Structure 1
Amino acid sequence: MRRVLVTGASRGIGRAVSIAFAERGDRVAVHYGRDIDAARETLRRLPGDGHALASADLADPDETQRVIDTAVDALGGIDVLVNNAAVATSDATRHAVPSVEYEQWQQIWRKSIDVNLIGAANLTYLVARHLIDRGAPGAIVNIGSRGAFRGEPDFPAYAASKAALHAFGQSMAITLAPHDIAVTSVAPGFIGTERQATRLAGAEGDGLRAQSPFGRIGTPEEVAAAVVFLASPEAVWASGTILDLNGASHLRT
C-alpha cells in the first residue's frame, strides 16, 4: 500500500487516476481547488478506506504547503505525487493574440504559469524533500500535454506551461535519481472528460475524433493506466521519460 497525492482530482483525469490507484489498494489524497461537491464524489467512488480530501489554490505557495501537510497527516506520508491540476483550455482561457485584450492576456499567462508550472514545481519540491527526509523511494508523475509539442495557437500559455513542465520533470529526474525518486511525465492528446462532453456532442465532435487514426478520442482511464504504471517500482528505469498518449494524433521525431 502506498500513499498517493493526486492534484486536480475532483473530476476528469484526476478522478480516474485516483480511482486507479485506490483499486490497487493505495490510499489517496484527493486535491481540489473550489468544487468540494465534485471532490466528495471522487472520494465516494474510491474503493477501500483511509482516503482524504485536501483543498488548496496551488498558485499560492502557502496553500501548497498546507495541502502537503494535510495529505501527510491524513495518509501518514506521501509516496507518490501526481501533478495533474492545471488551468485548462476553455472558452474562459482562450487568448489568441488577435482576439484578446492585453490585460486579459497578462492575467491568463500569470495564472497558467502560477498553477501549471510553479504550483507543480512547489509540490514536487515539498514531496521530494518529504521523501528524502524519510529516506524513502518514491515517484512523481506530471500530467503534461500534446500541446507542448504541436502548439496551441488559441491557448499559448497552456502549451508553454506544459512544455516547461515536461522540461522541469526531466531536470528533476536527474536531480532526484540518487534519492531513488523517479520522475516522469505523460503528454495526453484530446481526452473525453466531463468538461469536453459538449464539444464532443456538437459540431466539433467528428473533427476531434478524426484527429486520431483510431477514429476516437482518448479516455481518462487510459491516461490513468499509464500514470499508475509510471509510478510503479517496475517503471523506475523510465524516469525522465515523456510518454505520448494521443492515439497517434501527433508524432514527435
Structure 2
Amino acid sequence: MNLPAHGRSVLVSGASRGLGRAVARAFAANGDRVAVHYGSRAEEARETLASLDGTGHALVCGDLADPAQAARVVAEAAEALGGADSPDSPIDVLVNNAAVNLPHPPATTPYEEWVELWQRHVSVNLLGTAYLSRLAAGRMIAAGTPGRIVNIGSRGAFRGEPDHPAYGATKAAVHALGQSLAVALAPHGIAVASVAPGFFSTERVAPRLTGPEAESIRAQSPFGRVATPEEIAAAVLWLASPEAEWASGTVLDLNGASYLRT
C-alpha cells in the first residue's frame, strides 16, 4: 500500500503558534486533516485551528513529558481524524515539533535551576518525541499502512548553544533518534527524517529581531536575513510526501548557509 499524497491524518505537536502553526497550515493546504497539539496555549491553538484550510481538523491537548498524556494525545488525534471505528487507526504523518528552549548559561545558572531545566528539556524535547514516535509508529504498523515521521531538530545541535546547552544537546539526540528509527521502521514502510533549522522568525523571537542584536542575527546568513516559518514548513511537507521515502534517515540543514557541516 502506498502513502497517499493528500487526505492523510497528520499530528503536529506544539502547533499553537510559530513553526508548528506554519506546519499545520501547510498540511491543511495540501488537503490533509490535521490534529493541532498544544500543551498550555489553548487560545493560540484555537487560532491555529481556525486558520486551517479544509475540514476535519482537531485540537488535542497534553503534556508530552508525561507518557500517559502522550498516549492520550495520539489516541485522541487518531480518533478525531477519522479513526473512531478502530482503536488501531493510524496517524499517517507525525511531526515532532513540540520543544522547550529556556536559557541556562552554565557559568551563571544556579545548580538547582540547572538540574530542573535539564530535566525539563530532556523530558519534552527528547522523551516526548520518543513517546509520540513509538505510539504513532505502532499504529502505522498495526494498520499495515506506510507512514512518515518528521522531527524538528536544530542547527544548534551542530554549532552549539552556549546559553541553551540542554536545547542543543536534546536536539542532537532527536537527530540521532530519528536516524535509529529510520533504520528500524523502514521494513514497515515508515520513513523518518529530521530538519535542522537555523534562526527563523516567530512570535517568540520577534523582540530579538527588532532589538540591538537584530543585525548580527541576520548577518549569520550570507543572505542577510532569517528564515520564515513557511520555508521550514515547506521542507517538512516534502519530507512527509510519498516522493521523499528515499530521504529517510536524513538530517536536512535549513539555515541559509549560516552553518556548513563537513
Compute the TM-score of the two structures, normalised by the length of structure 1: 0.98
SS at structure 2 position matched to 1:98: coil
2:111 aligned with 1:98: no
2:45 aligned with 1:36: no
| Cα deviation, residue 27, structure 1 | 0.2
Q: Give, in whole Å, the separation in 2 of the partners of 1:197 and 1:14.
A: 16
2:85 aligned with 1:72: no
Q: Give, in whole Å, the separation in 1 of the partners of 2:242 and 2:137.
A: 16
Partner of 2:162: 153
Q: How does 1:41-190 map to 2 (within 5 A)?
A: 41-76=47-82, 77-88=90-101, 93-190=102-199
Partner of 1:26: 32
| Cα deviation, residue 241, structure 1 | 0.2
Q: Which runs of 5+ in 1 are unaligned?
A: none
Q: Provide the alpha-carbon RMSD of the alignment.
A: 0.5
| Cα deviation, residue 97, structure 1 | 1.3
SS at structure 1 position matched to 2:142: helix
Matched AA of 2:243 = E
Question: Which string of whole-angstrom CA distances, capped at 9 and with x for unpartnered residues, describes residues 216-239 of structure 1?
Answer: 001100000000000001000000
Q: Give, in whole Å, the separation in 2 of the partners of 1:72 and 1:4.
A: 9
Q: Give, in whole Å, the separation in 2 of the partners of 1:4 and 1:163.
A: 24
| Cα deviation, residue 78, structure 1 | 1.1
Q: Give, in whole Å, the separation in 2 of the partners of 1:96 and 1:80.
A: 36
2:20 aligned with 1:14: yes
Q: Give, in whole Å, the separation in 2 of the partners of 1:73 and 1:148.
A: 35
Q: Give, in whole Å, the separation in 2 of the partners of 1:15 and 1:94.
A: 23
Q: Which has the higher helix share?
A: 1
Partner of 2:87: none
Q: Give, in whole Å, the separation in 2 of the partners of 1:167 and 1:208.
A: 27
Question: Which string of whole-angstrom CA distances, capped at 9 and with x for unpartnered residues, describes residues 16-50 of structure 1?
Answer: 00000000100000000001000000000001000
SS at structure 1 position matched to 2:107: helix
Percent identity, aligned pairs only?
64
Q: Give, in whole Å, the separation in 1 of the partners of 2:253 and 2:174.
A: 14
| Cα deviation, residue 206, structure 1 | 0.6
Question: Which string of whole-angstrom CA distances, capped at 9 and with x for unpartnered residues, describes residues 73-92 of structure 1?
Answer: 1002410000000012xxxx
| Cα deviation, residue 98, structure 1 | 1.1
| Cα deviation, residue 95, structure 1 | 1.0
SS at structure 1 position matched to 2:128: helix
SS at structure 2 position matched to 1:195: coil
Question: Which string of whole-angstrom CA distances, capped at 9 and with x for unpartnered residues, describes residues 33-69 of structure 1?
Answer: 0010000000000010000000010110000000001
| Cα deviation, residue 122, structure 1 | 0.6
Q: Give, in whole Å, the separation in 1 of the partners of 2:148 and 2:103.
A: 33
Partner of 1:219: 228
Instruction: Report the count of equivalent residues.
Output: 249
